Amino acid sequence: MLEEIAASEAQLRVLQAWVIRLAGEVGVRSRPELGDEGLSRSQNFTSPVALLATVTGASAKECKSRLDLGKRLRGEMMLGGGEGPAPYPRVADALDSGELPIEAAATIVRRCRELADRGCAPDVVAGAEETLVDQTLSCHLSADETARMAIHLREVLDPDGAEPRDQIHQQLRFLTIGQSPDGMIRGTFALTPEQGGVWRSSFQAMQSPRVTGPRFLEEGDYVTADDRTSAQKNADTITELIARAAGADDMPRINGATTTLNLHVTLADLEAGRGVGYIDGLDEPVPMSTVEQMRCTSPMAVTLFGDRGEVLFHGKTKRLFTAAQNRALAARDGGCVWPNCDRPPSYCETHHADEWVSDDHPPGRTDIDNGVLLCHFHHSHLHKADWKLVMQGGVPHLIPPRWNDPEQTPIPTTRRRTITRPAA
């Protein structure tokens, strides 16, 4: 079967090479200097891309890619109307024979063109082309491997080119963010290589299997399956990183306070544990489960409204655990207290076992015996699931829902290693 796949791929490459050649011909016959007599305009199309997309049914992006590669493989048009020598003969031959993948051919042409644009001698560019094609074929490199090798060869042949490319990268970097009609906050971004390196290394560190959880265990042990996609994990990771940075001691202060969320909520909804809250600057409300989770860990100014919309209270809450308290919780819990989650203390948020609306927890009571460590994933899960977390004898216990344990037997969760053992 594998041999058949390889043979079919080679046949497909030959056909694709011919399609690219034809696309290049369409591009040459549609060049701007021909005006209305050009192929695309004579067929009532504004561009050769539009003409190809209509004829082939392929996307405009794919048609543009075919046109670009096809035109670059052709020689320059001479004054007499003839075609000059092919600029990349080694690529063209390997492409026509079906040996060279289309993606690899496009990469080699692009990198060689960069060298030519930088003023490298024609023999240097030709040598780079030959090296890249020969290495790709002899070593059976994938298109991705060819791309990496091409970048390395470019830097060897043109070591002075990195600086001007970096200047271009610096000009092209951006990040935009705004609220969409569906309530989501959406944005786009482009990072320089060093910025991208910081982001990716941070993602890898925080999502490493050595510090993330939970994992699936043997039957009888309960875990919450982390069914987030990679993209969702990335969104949660960058949010966690920003939240940590915002609370750092050396961050800028506004009126002596770190970054603060302004939350509007009615007293009735807060006491009942239902309804919604509104964050300043955002039109879309957040559910009460999110409000309760945010109150555990986020510095916020809460404005309480009465039944008639009157302001009952406006002020910054004093509910956050201090650094000393968090160190004590880290010593007691050893990290996220959810069973079999191995997130360390540095990756956890502090949760109030008895909530602010509880009779056992009057406003302002932020004590060690009422706090537990939870990673962001399990903290969010606890506020939305049927599981409950209580303190018994100074130790956090999870109470499972009846569907998991009809008796709802409390499960001790601390990972403390210095629990006093009873005397023999």
The string of pLDDT tens digits covering residues 366-405 is 666 777 888 888 887 787 777 888 887 777 888 888 887 8
**Residue 178 belongs to a domain:** no
Q: How far is CA 57 from CA 24, 52, 201, 333, in A?
A: 17, 8, 40, 60
DSSP track, 124-139: HHHHHHHHHHHHHHHT
Contact 260, 159 (CB under 8 A): no
Sheet architecture: strand order including 261-266 = 286-287, 276-279, 261-266, 300-305, 311-316
Residues 25 and 135 in one domain: yes
Domain count within the chain: 3
Residues 32 and 160 in one domain: yes
Contact 72, 31 (CB under 8 A): no
Residues 34 and 108 in one domain: yes
Residues 68 and 132 in one domain: yes
**Residue 187 belongs to a domain:** no
Residues 287 and 157 in one domain: no
Residues 26 and 149 in one domain: yes
Tally the C-alpha atoms within 13 A of residue 337's C-alpha that lie toward its C-beta: 30
Residues 66 and 103 in one domain: yes
Residues 241 and 340 in one domain: yes
Residues 18 and 65 in one domain: yes
Residues 10 and 131 in one domain: yes
**Residue 179 belongs to a domain:** no
Q: Which of 228, 198, 236, 230 is nearest to 349 (CA)?
A: 236
**Residue 114 belongs to a domain:** yes
Residues 83 and 228 in one domain: no
Where is the domain boundary, 299, 317, 335? 317
Where is the domain boundary, 317, 335, 360? 317
Where is the domain boundary, 279, 295, 317? 317
**Residue 182 belongs to a domain:** no
**Residue 180 belongs to a domain:** no
Give alpha helix (H) positions in 142-287.
143-157, 162-172, 193-206, 230-246, 267-272
Domain housing 59: 2-167
**Residue 382 belongs to a domain:** yes
Residues 11 and 117 in one domain: yes
**Residue 92 belongs to a domain:** yes
The string of pLDDT tens digits covering residues 117-161 is 989 999 999 999 999 999 999 999 999 999 999 999 999 999 888
The one-digit pLDDT tens for each residue of the chain (424 residues) are 888 888 888 889 999 999 999 999 999 899 888 888 889 999 999 899 999 999 999 999 999 999 999 999 988 877 666 777 889 999 999 999 989 999 999 999 999 999 999 899 999 999 999 999 999 999 999 999 999 999 999 999 998 888 888 889 899 999 998 888 888 889 999 999 888 888 888 888 877 765 554 444 444 444 556 678 888 888 888 887 887 776 666 666 544 455 566 677 777 777 777 788 887 767 788 888 777 776 666 655 566 666 665 555 555 445 566 666 777 777 777 788 887 787 778 778 888 777 655 554 444 456 667 778 888 888 877 877 778 888 877 778 888 888 878 888 888 876 554 444 444 4
Q: Which residue has the tokens 């404005």?
A: 303
Q: Which of 73, 62, 67 is nearest to 47 (CA)?
A: 67
